[in-house]
Structure 1
Amino acid sequence: MNTRKAAFLVISEIENKKNINADILMEKYHQRLKDPKDRKLFVELVHGVLRFKNLLDYYINFVATKGIKDKKILNILRVATYELIFLDKIPEYATVSEACNLAESVNRHQKGFVNAVLRNMIRRKDEIEKALERIKETNLKDFLSIKLSYPKFLIEYLEQSYGLDKTIRILEFLNTKPLQSVKINTKKISREEFLKKLEAYGYEYDLPELNSEIVYILSGNIKESDLYKEGYFYFQDLASSLIVKWNRNDFENAKSVLDLCAAPGGKTFNCAEVTKGFVVSCDVNRSKVDLLRENLLRLGFDNVIPAECDATVLNEDFIGKFDIVIADLPCTGFGTIRKKPDIKWNKTHEDIESLHELQVRMLDNAAKYVKNGGIIFYSTCTLGHRENEDTVSSFVERHEDFSVVYQKTIFPDEYQCDGFFIAKLKKEGKVGV
């Protein structure tokens, strides 16, 4: 399959279906491309268009002043415009030619139009950029929404929490390309042995300072390697790993841990490495629980009990049974935009509010599962006070027997990882009663 056609098809399908799983969809097309260079370009084009959609549309509409009514043609132009702006190694003539061929296969009457728009864009590039700078002088928020390519509501929402300067730094970092982040499975292999194997297999890597067991893979698809099949690692972002890293003593001493919304499983595996007790790992989705079981076999953990369970429904069997409950709850996911740029366009301000209310309800159940003296670790992979600090405040107002030990935002621009939030909530009372 042609790389640009694959990218065009994925982008079109994502735009047409709000709740589609972009990762699964991309994987389907990714497998059809056999050449590693084609696969790399495919990911670059899909993520690039989703990452900078507002900016691409600004370029297109500057030239096509009447707008583009045909969504398929618009997406072809978006792919081509991303190449023209961001991919210097692809000759302009090749970009235009590929776009015209793709347009002909979609609507042959639009081939000439696509050719004219792109050639006009190339000729007027400096003019377009100067016009964008003039917007900055008159309306900074409009400029940021175009240049950084975020919906204006998200810029304003984060500004309310962190101020505009900090928000700009966050959004700029979230537009950078993520690295593959893996956590060494220390139950199977030591850090030193794992790094030696990486070098033997020819993988280049980098090591973050905050967690010596996290490794950034700089090139190549490590999931296709024997290292993955042997269970020497699992995928986990640095931010997510800090729950166990920063609270290792709590997890080492826990006899029982509940991971309330476990998929895809990183924190469950992290707990299983450390705790001397057992972990009950839950998810509402049966297929995700099945995938969890497969990974547990691959990784060799025998102290985890996977279970299909809805965190919104009180489970009577769990009441008062756990030393620790990890409540990494559903959220808008704004902290993961580097990896999932489609999140920019499929979340709304209403989603923020409804998810805050869902989080509070789920935490109400989590409060009942913790033993006296036990701990809830509440976390999200999002940014903004409403789903983080406000959710914690709402919880402790409803549960006077809990206190906040600490709460911390992992800012992506500071930690060079996903945006993340962790709150440690302790249930008062005599331990184990």
Structure 2
Amino acid sequence: MNARYQAYELLYNTLAKGQYLNLGLKSAHLSDSSRGFVTRLVYDTLQNYDWMKYQFESHLSKKVPLEIEIILVMSCVQHFLMDSIADYALVNEAVNLTKKVKHSYSGLVNAVLKKVVKQTLLESDDLAIRYSHPQWMTNLFRKQLGENETTQLLAHNNTIAPLYVRLNNDNLKSKMIEKYSLIEDEEGYLIGNSSLISDDLLKEGDLVIQDKASQQVVMMFNDIQGRILDACGAPGTKCSQLARRFETSSITMLDLHEHRVELSKELMERLDIKNVTCKVGDATTYEDEPFDAIMCDVPCSGLGVLRRKPDLRYRISPNDLDSLQELQAAILEHMDTLLKPGGQLVYATCTLNRKENEVQIDKFLDNHPNYTLIKQQTLLPHHHNSDGFYMALLIKSYDMIG
């Protein structure tokens, strides 16, 4: 199958059918020779969709079907951002693809692209268009971060994310760096080469793919002796790090979805981790004996991982943020019933939305004066070259004796 057609199918399934891009790429039958090209074309298209649409909109007299819009945007990406094909070949490939998808629009695609390849790249003063983020999302960032930080963040979201990895055994660091050609960044985190680190290689159990921001969530805890709950733990990446850091502790990992719990079990087995029990359970209702520490990496809007998941910007809506905040609050409330006095609670999200982060913690503290906020931090992607994360450590006090 033609590589451009495969890219088109992935984009159409993502934008029209709501397919998760990472799952689409995993299930696509891509050859070794085409995988890199298709992946880059799809990512570049999603990251620059509105900006590339801006390049040809003036040449259209009316709105075109999504199928045709995708083909035109893909073609603009190749012409302006990838420079991987001659103009005549670009137009010809797009026309041939259109004939397979919606034959009656082949003449329009031909005419529009012949104009596009003769023009210079058009800039836009509208950040939402220039960096292809929804207007509501751009406004949210602008309100919370300001104009300059928002511009930097949006631009950063359209770059390639490094592949951070974590060693399953830190004692073998030098050997693993050499074996897998890893690079150590200025903070000591390890970066892998995505072309070298395959699923088969990961099965060896030496490495775990985990962004450095995600790794810092586990490091928020002080020393722990006793039982730990990972309340929203699948697919188990942070939980496996927790298990390695506190090897004498017994850890219960919880997730609502059985298939994700099975993935977590497979990860623990692959990494030869023995102190984790993976269970299906609801973090808003789960019952157990009190724990000495709880890690609560709650479901969130994901506005900190837009670089790694460019399809998310087309899937999430402002209404989703409201429902997620209600769920987060419910999880936090229930965690209080499962934490021993003196216990540690780490709350984390991979979003930059303050209503899911600082505001959520402030409300919890207002309702639970027996908790103390020890520390909190927000990692901005463009400052740390990482995913965007918020994390907070709270301590539950012992009952006061009057």
Q: With structure 2 as the length reference, what TM-score do the two structures score?
A: 0.95
Distance 2:252 2:186 in 1: 30
Structure 2 matches for 1:31-50, cutoff 5 A? Answer: 32-36=29-33, 38-50=34-46
More helix by share: 1
Indicate conservation of the 8 Å contact 2:20/2:311, yes or no.
no
Distance 2:97 2:273 in 1: 49
Q: Deviations over 1:66-117 (max 9, x none)?
A: 231x221111111111111100232222222211111111122222211111
> For 2:140, which of 157, 180, 183 is the aligned residue?
157
Structure 2 matches for 1:259-408, cutoff 5 A? Answer: 259-275=230-246, 276-312=248-284, 314-318=285-289, 320=290, 322-408=291-377
Instruction: From the superposition, tell whether residues 94 and 254 of structure 1 become closer, same or farther in structure 2 (CA, over 3 Å).
Output: farther
AA in 1 matched with 2:185: P
> For 1:245, which of 210, 215, 219 is the aligned residue?
219
> For 1:192, which of 174, 177, 201 is the aligned residue?
174
RMSD in angstroms over aligned alpha carbons?
A: 1.7
Give the superposition deviation at 1:261.
0.7
Task: Identify unmatched segments of 5+ residues in structure 2.
Answer: none
Aligned to 1:139: none
Q: Deviating runs (4+, > 6 A) in structure 1?
A: none
> For 1:75, which of 70, 73, 77 is the aligned residue?
70
Give the superposition deviation at 1:402.
1.0
Give the superposition deviation at 1:5.
0.8
Q: Is the partner of 2:228 in helix, strand or coil?
A: strand
Give the superposition deviation at 1:124.
2.4
Aligned to 2:183: 206
Give the superposition deviation at 1:221.
4.4
AA in 2 matched with 1:194: M
The number of aligned residues is 399
Give the superposition deviation at 1:239.
0.2
Q: Is the partner of 2:117 in helix, strand or coil?
A: helix
Give the superposition deviation at 1:410.
0.5
Task: Identify unmatched segments of 5+ residues in structure 1.
Answer: 137-142, 200-204
Aligned to 1:140: none
Indicate conservation of the 8 Å contact 1:353/1:386, yes or no.
no
Instruction: From the superposition, tell whether residues 277 and 346 of structure 1 become closer, same or farther in structure 2 (CA, over 3 Å).
Output: same
Q: Deviations over 1:33-56 (max 9, x none)?
A: 2233x1011111111111111112
User: Which shifted more, 153-162 or 85-94?
Assistant: 85-94
User: Which shifted more, 417-426 or 391-400?
Assistant: 391-400
Distance 1:49 1:393 in 2: 39
Structure 2 matches for 1:20-31, cutoff 5 A? Answer: 20-29=19-28
1:2 maps to 2:5: no
Structure 2 matches for 1:144-183, cutoff 5 A? Answer: 144-183=127-166
Distance 1:234 1:215 in 2: 11
Distance 2:215 2:388 in 1: 12
Structure 2 matches for 1:10-159, cutoff 5 A? Answer: 10-18=10-18, 20-29=19-28, 32-36=29-33, 38-68=34-64, 70-125=65-120, 129=122, 132-133=123-124, 136=125, 143-159=126-142
Distance 2:367 2:383 in 1: 33
Indicate conservation of the 8 Å contact 2:226/2:292, yes or no.
yes
